[in-house]
Structure 1
């Protein structure tokens, strides 16, 4: 059996992850990899971020991006899905609202209530821009738990 996930398994793995790593490119071409919360919508990955954030500027300047989710601690547990594609700012209000609802459903229990946030942080996070990664067809994935190991010596 292959350690590679099928496309359906890969997307289920991505959807089930809590945090992923989004990599965008700086103006000088160097990658910037940051942990992000995300939701999956129609086999794309959506993020929200403050409108003045660097992720928005990088996406507008160079849409190439990648996204990684992983799990496991022991080698035999390691699993991951890596997507590469194009990142864009979502302007369609219906999609923005849909993504907002998906974020609320996924992360409501993990958010800090507004009244507990410092005023400066509340101001930064009050407005959000929605970004959407449309991956190319190639999905890089693996699940080491599928490797058949020889029996341990007695």
Structure 2
């Protein structure tokens, strides 16, 4: 296993990437599919200090892919000007059925970030953590950004 990536807040590129990881609402998660082709889907996520946390329904392609190969990319959009590339390459850890136990830990932050979207979907926080019960923790090992 490689060493987790450590952001340097004094580095302009790192600081901008951290700011975006804390504020962006959607990222793309990339996994290796069973057929060998890349699989990428948009996800909601929280940045918790040194890792991204994604809630997922348990029987999705991304979960199956990560069960077979924990290597993952987390990719943000390129920013309003198209010039702010932020990609994290890392390793994912799956915690099946852990969503409800994470609710007390991250529920307030998650609801604050995604309240409007959850209201539009008619998905209260408790149901969100029950339905999206697999927790994916992504620990970055490399930052690709400018």
How is 1:140-151 mapped onto 2 (pairs within 5 angstroms)?
Answer: 140-142=144-146
| TM-aligned CA distance change 1:64 to 1:26, over 3 Å | same
Which consecutive unaligned segments of at least 5 residues does structure 1 have? Answer: 116-121, 143-154
Matched, 1:41 2:45: no
Alignment TM-score, normalising by the size of structure 2: 0.74
Which consecutive unaligned segments of at least 5 residues does structure 2 have? Answer: 1-10
Match of 2:69 in 1: 62
The structure with the larger Rg is 1
How is 1:114-153 mapped onto 2 (pairs within 5 angstroms)?
Answer: 114=123, 126-136=131-141, 138-142=142-146
Task: Check conservation: 2:89, 2:140, Cα contact below 8 A.
Answer: yes
Alignment TM-score, normalising by the size of structure 1: 0.71
Task: Check conservation: 1:65, 1:86, Cα contact below 8 A.
Answer: yes
How is 1:1-150 mapped onto 2 (pairs within 5 angstroms)?
Answer: 5-74=12-81, 77-90=82-95, 96-97=102-103, 98-111=105-118, 112-114=121-123, 126-136=131-141, 138-142=142-146
Task: Check conservation: 1:70, 1:78, Cα contact below 8 A.
Answer: no
Distance 1:40 1:140 in 2: 17
Q: Deviations over 1:113-149 (max 9, x none)?
A: 149xxxxxx8xx735211011110x21111xxxxxxx
